[in-house]
Amino acid sequence: MLVNGEQHDTIAIMDRGFQYGDGLFETIEVRANQPIFLEQHLKRLNADSKRLYLPQIDVDLLHSEIHQLCQNVGNAVLKIIITRGSGGRGYRQPDVIQPTRILSLYPFPDYPKSYYFDGIVARICKTRLGLNPDLAGIKHLNRLEQVMARAEWNDAAIQEGIMLDFNGRVIEGTMTNLFYVKNCQVFTASLNLCGIAGVLRGWILEQIPVMEHDFFIHDLSAADEIFVCNSVIGIWGIRELNGQIYSANKITQNLQLMLESEKQKQVTYAS
Amino acid sequence: MLVNGEQHDTIAIMDRGFQYGDGLFETIEVRANQPIFLEQHLKRLNADSKRLYLPQIDVDLLHSEIHQLCQNVGNAVLKIIITRGSGGRGYRQPDVIQPTRILSLYPFPDYPKSYYFDGIVARICKTRLGLNPDLAGIKHLNRLEQVMARAEWNDAAIQEGIMLDFNGRVIEGTMTNLFYVKNCQVFTASLNLCGIAGVLRGWILEQIPVMEHDFFIHDLSAADEIFVCNSVIGIWGIRELNGQIYSANKITQNLQLMLESEKQKQVTYAS
């Protein structure tokens, strides 16, 4: 792990990331030493920094540290955390913000291949997402809602939980964004009141026509296909949700192939 | 600072308190070496732990560490942080939770006496509190809303910002609970959808009749008195909000005297 460029595995207790969750993070797939969608992740980090009144990221410095960290890692997960650093008085931020920058590598998770090829089993969570337009979309460090939702089940046969917002709209999975397909049209939640605007979600929106709108559980019941995505798992179809079986997977499979091709391109281009 | 009983000023980066804000905190006034309202703080910590599926606090151990830390400190602020510790996979908590316990002391803030005797100036924040009944009332480590609200102003003449929820209800200050008085009746916000159920708020509810209800900015405009409270500042009247002057302060002053008397009693009883 690198903390502001130095090897540490601890952080100051006074750091506002710890005291208040006052910061941001990115979770990035590293494949054959190459961070996938790195530009998109850094772009989002900068956009989210702006929304939280954090200083703009030194992208060159981050690039150099990421290169240093990933050069011999093969396949892994890279996590970047940026906090508002220490200082200030209570919630009040310091006059001069000196962010803390943490890069850490984790083994790539060993998910069974069937999740990718056959789809996963999902459930609907009781824990709801709160509504807050000021923080909606941001990948910030206040993630208790996700922790509470993920604590609802302990059944290894269920891989993801779907979260609704306070008004009953379907928003996303605990660790993924969610899409559904009905009559060859693809839909996903608009994230103006809650949710995390994932990098892979953004990439999918650029590849195919997707309608961002408000939808509910009954829309999922009537869906032809449902899939979830994030930067580590890629795209997984849902084969069972609340006991209902989804057998179509044509658009999901097409997107999986497009994504695989994009990743291969990034790995090849870099090497 | 004591981390699980040992002197450290850092915490593991892998701690879920840092990764997700997965934990709780208490901020306690220490007066003449005596933590004020300690039983109430520990009671809330246990109640909040239960709501977050954290193990119950070892109260005897905490008592012993607090006593050790505060025995010669005089006047100070004691902060207790409890996190879900390290482990688990992503948002999923570990099967066996080993919480991290952090006790730290800070100098008692040097607020001008006029805040107590003459009241403070407050403003209305643009940042709204999100609605989430599952987390409402809990003093957890996800405090970005408060950070964002406190970042809205940098004018030293303004001491507190009042926060509304997503539906426009007045809830609390960025660091305080809020009460108002109209025709000798005292009101405060019900905290079933958002807000922090402060220990001092709880004490006031036990001392005098208070109606918990939904109210709005126009109710504050029509109020006779407004006051805010927390465990460090005690009770401060608001003498100016959004340019409007509040000159009555009879009930506020009475509560200040009752609180001072209660604190003196706790200090005397302990020594």
Structure confidence at residue B151 (pLDDT) = 96
Q: What angle do CA B89, B95, B100 make, to 5 degrees?
A: 85
Query: Most A CBs within 10 Å: which of B1, B19, B86, as the mutation test of the A interface?
Result: B19
**Among the three residues B80, B107, B134, which one is the final residue of a domain in this structure?**
B107
B-proximal residues of A, 72-91, CB under 8 Å: 81, 84, 89-91
Close Cβ partners of B239 (under 8 Å, ≥ 6 residues apart): B118, B119, B120, B121, B245, B246, B247
Residues B159, B259, single domain; the answer is yes
Answer whether B175 sits within 8 Å of A90, measured CB to CB.
Answer: yes
Low-confidence ranges of chain B (pLDDT < 70): none
Cα distance from A185 to chain B (closest Cα, Å)?
31
Chain B partners of A84 at a C-beta cutoff of 8 Å? 147
Residues A129, A233, single domain; the answer is yes
The structure tokens listed for A177 are 């964004």
**Among the three residues B107, B139, B157, which one is the final residue of a domain in this structure?**
B107
Residue bearing tokens 């179509």: A248
A-proximal residues of B, 239-258, CB under 8 Å: none
- Alpha-carbon span A89 to B150, nearest angstrom: 10
Put simply, whether A140 touches B (Cβ < 8 Å) is yes
- Alpha-carbon span B81 to B250, nearest angstrom: 36
Phi, psi of A47, rounded to the nearest 5 degrees:
-65, -45
Domain that holds residue B174: 113-267
Q: How many domains does chain B have?
A: 2
Residues B182, B67, single domain; the answer is no
Residues B63, B146, single domain; the answer is no
Residues A87, A145, single domain; the answer is no
The structure tokens listed for A73 are 């890692």
Residues B196, B82, single domain; the answer is no
Q: For B203-210, which contacts have Cβ atoms below 8 Å and span 24 or more sequence positions?
A: B203/B37, B203/B40, B203/B259, B203/B262, B204/B179, B204/B229, B204/B235, B204/B255, B207/B255, B207/B258, B208/B251, B208/B255, B209/B185, B210/B179, B210/B186
pLDDT tens for residues B148-163? 999 999 999 999 999 9
Residues A146-168 have a mean pLDDT of 96
pTM above 0.80, yes or no: yes
pLDDT tens for residues A18-75? 999 999 999 999 999 999 999 999 999 999 999 999 999 999 999 999 999 999 999 9
- Alpha-carbon span B27 to B105, nearest angstrom: 10
CB B123 within 8 A of CB B153: yes
Put simply, whether A210 touches B (Cβ < 8 Å) is no
Helix or strand run (H / E) with residue A51 = helix A38-51
Residues A235, A200, single domain; the answer is yes
Phi, psi of B254, rounded to the nearest 5 degrees:
-60, -45
Phi, psi of B243, rounded to the nearest 5 degrees:
85, -15
pLDDT tens for residues A214-254? 999 999 999 999 999 999 999 999 999 999 999 989 999 99
**Among the three residues A79, A107, A135, which one is the final residue of a domain in this structure?**
A107
The structure tokens listed for B188 are 């405060």
Which ipTM score applies to this complex? 0.96
Residues A79, A174, single domain; the answer is no
Residues A33, A62, single domain; the answer is yes
Residues B138, B258, single domain; the answer is yes
pLDDT tens for residues B144-199? 999 999 999 999 999 999 999 999 999 999 999 999 999 999 999 999 999 999 99
Answer whether B175 sits within 8 Å of A91, measured CB to CB.
Answer: yes
Percent residues over pLDDT 90 in chain A? 98
Q: What angle do CA B91, B96, B101 make, to 5 degrees?
A: 85
CATH number at residue B54: 3.30.470.10
